[in-house]
Amino acid sequence: MPETLSRNYANLIGDQEVVSTKSFESRSSSNHTDIIGVFPEADKAQVRAACQQAQEAFGRWSKTPAPIRGELIGSIGEALSREKEALSRLVTREMGKTLKEARGSVQEAIDTCHFFQSEGRRLYGQTVPSEMPNKELMTYRRPLGVVGIVTAGNFPIAVPSWKIIPALLTGNTIVWKPSEDAPAVAYAFAKLIAEAGVPAGVLNVVFGGGKDAAGQYLVEMMDEGLLDKFAFTGSTAVGRLIGEVAGRNLLHPTLELGGKNPLVIMRDADLDNAVSGAIFSAFATGGQRCTSAGNIIIDASIYDAFKTRFLEAVKAIKIADPLEHEDVFYGPFINQRFFERWLSHYDWGQEDGATLLYGQGRISNDNKPAGFSGDASASYYGWPTVWENVKPGMRQFQQEVFGPTINLVKVNGIAEAIEAANAVDYGLSSAIYTNHREWAYQFKDQIEAGMTSINNTTNGAEAHMPFGGVKGSGNGTRESGVWVLDNYTYWHGVNDDISGKLQLAQMDTGYIGAGSEVSVGKLFD
């Protein structure tokens, strides 16, 4: 089959489309002969130039009244709504997400715009009573400056919107290095932002890889003093490196990292509901979500019943090219790199002594589950994989796999379930299925995670709720909702004294006079 004709794209720096001496291709995850576009590999000088353009634009953008910035955010939402179906199909074509999930991820970006449009009229400060007369105290939110952003390819429009939209609303300018796995979606998103009226230089986009490429160069701009904030979604290992660079430059980065998320099923759970939630938690997007379930922790008395129902549901999963099959449950791996990393976990399981219940590695035309349709050789597809006899000390239990794999872990009672759930270095998402309110309360009170669902999946986010983790899943910063505003602003306290004289707080304050002296010792003579 001949390769499709493709267009060359460019970095977006200031008001210029800037090409590079090196380039890379973006190919469809479902059909590697489908070249979506050719994108530049930005060099370090181009990344630096993008940061300088953002610095120049900051003065003008930060002085634009916040309600006007909010209206522009609303215009971005309108453009996304108009192009929702085309964007959704581009997401599916480029990174392999099902159309249902792709539409949901574009809607998440639209919802983010709707939420933050109104926040342009609510970037409230406070007036604070002073302890001195004729003196006023006020607080203001101020933008930080230039924000460097690096995002992953599994949610190529929803997750970038969580960073870009609030950063723009609060008056910051941006240099964005999107994932090399989904540059076409990023280019389309950036063009829609420009269409909405965001001035040139406010959002700059540089394309390329991570290590020894545009991503690393952008991180290094912190050491050159060209960035005032860094926001990253990706692996915990890279997040730690970014945190080190940010720390020595006294910047507080936003780090949204990996997860090994527990899903607990207690003996009183609605098993039908629990099975459907566990299937989605484990296998949605082919397990390529930071919030995917890693360990399903099951109360011993229902373990066998759950396992039987769960395996029946796993064997019924439909896998195919999501552009050709609307009812598919998951599609291909984003790329070969993700597939090969996932495939290595089969060796971990065997070395640990876990038991493989279902799954045979890569799907091929000669080795495929009953639910697979299409030509397996066109891409990288993985069998839905289920392990049991997995213990907390095992690598299989501890490490993020990032693919269609789940572990079944048997425990006895809520205390043991919580102990197992917390026995990982991550703390992003979590879930419990139970109708026992005390167990639900105990779980949400004791779980070490940034997010918890009760009788729902480990996945999912809403534009007005905080998203983020603890432990190895993040540094306490949050995406979305009003909480994210603290990540892109600093508080400015203003002390306005109109008394016409020097007044020193604590030293010149006229405290109320005391009553008659009391001797405590004499009270009890």
Q: Would you give per-residue pLDDT tens digits along the chain (525 residues)?
A: 334 557 999 999 999 999 999 999 999 999 999 999 999 999 999 999 999 999 999 999 999 999 999 999 999 999 999 999 999 999 999 999 999 999 999 999 999 999 999 999 999 999 999 999 999 999 999 999 999 999 999 999 999 999 999 999 999 999 999 999 999 999 999 999 999 999 999 999 999 999 999 999 999 999 999 999 999 999 999 999 999 999 999 999 999 999 999 999 999 999 999 999 999 999 999 999 999 999 999 999 999 999 999 999 999 999 999 999 989 999 999 999 999 999 999 999 999 999 999 999 999 999 999 999 999 999 999 999 999 999 999 999 999 999 999 999 999 999 999 999 999 999 999 999 999 999 999 999 999 999 999 999 999 889 999 999 999 999 999 999 999 999 999 999 999 999 999 999 888 888 766 677 888 888 887
Nearest-5° Cα angle at 347, 344 to 348:
95
The answer to whether position 504 is within a domain reads no
Strand partners, 426: 471
Strand partners, 471: 426
313 and 210 share one domain: no
Decide if 463 contacts 111 (C-beta within 8 A).
yes
Sign for the pseudo-dihedral over CA of 470, 472, 474, 475: positive
Q: Quote the pLDDT of residue 5.
A: 56
359 and 288 share one domain: yes
Q: Which residues contact 353 (CB under 8 A, 6 or more apart)?
A: 389, 394
Amino acid at 515: G
CB atoms under 10 Å from CB of 443, counted, come to 24
| CATH number for the domain harbouring residue 393 | 3.40.309.10
The answer to whether position 499 is within a domain reads no
* Closest to 266 measured CA to CA, from 490, 75, 431, 78: 431
The H or E element spanning position 138 is strand 135-143
- DSSP symbols for 492-515: EEEEEE-SSS---TTTS--PPPP-
Q: How far apart are CA 359 and CA 377, in angstroms?
A: 18
Tokens of 166: 């609030």
325 and 391 share one domain: yes
96 and 242 share one domain: yes
Predicted TM-score (pTM) of the model is 0.95
66 and 212 share one domain: yes
Query: DSSP H helical segments within 381-424, as ranges?
Result: 395-398, 414-421
User: Which one of the listed residues 41, 94, 101, 256 is annotated catalytic?
Assistant: 256
280 and 233 share one domain: no
280 and 408 share one domain: yes
The answer to whether position 512 is within a domain reads no
361 and 300 share one domain: yes
51 catalytic residue (yes or no): no
The answer to whether position 223 is within a domain reads yes
The count of structural domains within the chain is 2
Amino acid at 3: E
The answer to whether position 236 is within a domain reads yes
| CATH number for the domain harbouring residue 33 | 3.40.605.10
Look at residue 479 and give its three-state secondary structure.
Answer: strand
Q: How far apart are CA 164 and CA 488, in angstroms?
A: 10
User: Which one of the listed residues 94, 108, 113, 290 is annotated catalytic?
Assistant: 290
The answer to whether position 518 is within a domain reads no
127 and 164 share one domain: yes
The answer to whether position 470 is within a domain reads no
396 and 410 share one domain: yes
Amino acid at 446: Q
Q: Which residues contact 464 (CB under 8 A, 6 or more apart)?
A: 115, 480, 481, 482
The answer to whether position 206 is within a domain reads yes
Domain that holds residue 335: 261-463
Q: Quote the pLDDT of residue 523.
A: 82
205 and 227 share one domain: yes
63 and 204 share one domain: yes
Sign for the pseudo-dihedral over CA of 221, 224, 228, 229: positive
